Amino acid sequence: MRFERMDSNVSQQAVKPHRAVRWVVSRIARSDSAIMLTLAMLVGVGVGLGAVAFIRSIAFFHTLFFDQGRNVLSFMGNWYVLVIPAIGGLIVGPLIHFLAPEAKGHGVPEVMAAMELRNGRIRPAVIAVKAIGSAITIGSGGSVGREGPIVQIGAAIGSVLGQRFNLSRKRVLGLVGAGAAAGIAATFNAPIAGVMFALEVLLGDYSVSAISTMVFAAVSASVVSRIFLGTHPALSVPSYTLVSAWEIPLYIGLGLLGAIAAAAFVRSLYFMEDTFDAWRFPDYLKPVVGGLGLGLMGYFLPQVFGTGFVEIERALNGQIVLTTLIILIFAKILATSLTLGSGSSGGVFAPALFVGAVVGGAYGQFVHHLFPAITAGSGAYAIVGMAVVFAAAARAPITAIVIMFELTLDYNIMLPLMLATVVATVIAEKIEPESIYTLKLVRRGIDFRGRLRAQARLRLTVGEVMTPLAAIVTTTTKTTLAELADLFRTTGIHGVAVLDEHGKLSGVVTVGDLEVSLPGMGPDALVDEIYTREILTATPHEPLDELLARPGYLDVGRIPVVDPADPGHLLGMLRRIDIVRAFSTAGVTVPS
């Protein structure tokens, strides 16, 4: 119904807002960027609500298993904790095995596999199964984090929304990355770190469109989580003080130690996975066995249960003695390996932070004992240690640096943090080329890091790929068809740019144009009568991948490259062979 035909009793003031909304919606619908940003905001809101529900469900299941479980199993005394993780495994194992096997493990590799093998398409069932399975695992004492599950849940929300609107592969992947960024942003209350995690670990795409999409999602998720969970960060981190410049070299030692701890964590996790995978036993019951092992550890060291945020804060505040810190390094690695290796669901982000905190705390106590006058307390080293071990395990130094800065809001920590994190990442790559996320994919024959490297190489501009003007053949509007035929025959090319009498680009003429026109028009006819004037052009600073996404790309074999300030000034020619060569160098196939 047209607005003009509305009931006359409706005031003009009431009509205008409807027209304004209608105009805004129509404008959004016509803009690809506006559509993606709108969808990213919806993803962020959905992930934020999902993160709130997930975190609260963890608290619910923790109360159910440990508080109620203590009453039900009171006949066991304190030994009741031995069976709590096993009961959780008894529920989670069949849930994952029969409903969504993708929800097994620590989440991020499964997102990577979906991006690599299924164009970012993730089943909706993964959202529910991952949320429930991980909440039960953590609530029953599983030594895992909540960040990996929220990343997978967020990625799944983005994927499902992209599929619902039948978006292209590139846009679905963008929403998957946006969902992952929103997950980290919501659970840590650290939106910048969420964006960096998605860029550094998942997408490897630093284009304006990719970053803006993830920023919208991360900010939206953070706003929602702050409404329900408060504005405080996930961890309470003490202020940092650099006592002396002589303290800086000591952080290099922490970087080395953190790299070794990260490598031990990665190898222990995958050793345990291999052990359980090789065991001839029903997969859906393996989490029960892992839970029994974890319960036995937890009876003697309850600090290994759950995400470990309480123990992390104690390490940050220097409240754990040196011997306990050293024991917890090995205990947490083993506990997490048992939980995930046996087939339960959860993340490795928080366990890596836990290991880093106790490694840094132990190292800090040691160096402070040796050099009390020039070193800060152990808590300062625990802060840096968190970033060091995560960066070394995940190969995400920028994410680690940013997340610790967002948690501390203390610029004083940046110098030792950056130094130790980079040292740890470099050394870790020498020890183990793959990260804790990509190693699982490589063992399945998926080279995800290779795809990211290829994407980085393909972030080329048209000007970097094109054949320059000095190396191409052109003709003019006054050339005869006979001369044009001779030109094609002697050069072996199939199309050339056509210049007018002033040397300005006027169009393109091809062998096909000549073959169609020559019999009827004769050899003395001019190129001016047959060439194509309406042509697709590019500019040298235009990203190659954006050009390939433009309508009409597949219909032409060559694209003139012109000066954006003077569209008639020909700078070169982008030929299909130029594009093939660029893609071949990067090790991927030409998009079609």
450 three-state secondary structure: helix
SS (H, E, C) 502-537: CCCEEEEEEHHHHHHHHHHHCCCCEHHHCCECCCCC
Instruction: Output the CA angle 273-439-330, nearest 5 degrees.
Output: 55
Q: Report the C-alpha gap between 463 and 468 in whole angstroms.
A: 8
Cβ atoms within 10 Å of 444's Cβ, excluding its own: 12
In a domain, 207, yes or no: yes
**229, 253, 272 — which closes off a domain?**
229
The Cα 274–Cα 290 span in angstroms is: 13
Domain of 544, CATH number, reads: 3.10.580.10
pLDDT tens digits along 206-244:
777 788 999 999 999 999 999 998 877 667 777 777 788
Same domain, 488 and 502: yes
| Residue 217 is assigned to a structural domain of this protein | yes
Q: Could you tell me if 26 and 37 lie in one domain?
A: no
Q: What average pLDDT does the segment 447-456 reach?
A: 58
Q: How many CA atoms lie within 13 A of 421 on its CB side?
A: 26
296 and 374 assigned to the same domain: yes
Residue 149's domain comprises: 31-229
Residue 451's pLDDT is what?
A: 57
Q: What pLDDT, in 10s, does the model give residues 553-576?
A: 556 778 899 998 888 999 999 988
pLDDT value at position 345? 92
Per-residue pLDDT for 361 more than 70? yes
Terminal alpha carbon distance of the chain: 42
Are 386 and 279 in the same domain?
yes
Q: Is residue 86 part of a domain?
A: yes
- Answer yes or no: do 386 and 413 share one domain: yes
Token pair 């409807």 in the structure block, residue: 18
State whether 105 and 209 are in the same domain: yes
Q: Taking residues 393-401, what's their average pLDDT?
A: 92
Tell whether 236 is covered by a domain: no
56, 15: one domain:
no
Check residue 549 and give its pLDDT: 66
Torsions phi, psi for 466 (to 5 deg): -65, 160
Same domain, 288 and 404: yes
Q: What contacts 577, CB < 8 A, 6 or more positions away?
A: none
pLDDT band at 9 (very low <50, low <70, confident <90, very high): very low
| Same domain assignment for residues 190 and 265 | no
Any domain includes 240: no
The number of domains in the chain is 4
Report yes or no on 453 lying in a domain.
no
pLDDT at 435 over 80: yes
CA-to-CA separations, 125 to 122, 130, 183, in angstroms, rounded: 9, 8, 18
Helices marked H in 279-394: 286-300, 309-316, 322-341, 349-370, 378-394
CATH number where 47 lies? 1.10.3080.10
Given a cut of 90, whether residue 63 has pLDDT beyond it is yes
CA distances from 473 to 168, 277, 570 (A): 37, 62, 12
Identify the band that residue 22 occupies on the pLDDT scale cut at 50, 70 and 90: low
What mean pLDDT, rounded, does the chain reach? 86
Q: Above 70 in pLDDT, residue 336?
A: yes
Phi then psi for residue 461, to 5 deg, are -95, 160
Task: Say what percent of the chain tops pLDDT 90.
Answer: 54
Question: What is the average per-residue pLDDT within 394-412?
Answer: 87
Same domain, 35 and 22: no
Contact status, residue 506 vs residue 494, Cβ threshold 8 Å: no
Q: How large is the C-alpha radius of gyration of the chain?
A: 30
* Residue 534: Cβ-neighbour burial (10 angstroms; 0-12, 13-18, 19+): exposed
Whether residues 476 and 580 fall in one domain: yes
Report pLDDT for 409: 76
Residues 124 and 72 in one domain: yes
Distance CA 441, CA 116 (A): 10
Residue 591 in any domain: the answer is no
Q: Is residue 91 part of a domain?
A: yes
Rounded-to-integer distance, Cα 122 and Cα 37, Å? 21
d(CA 338, CA 335): 5
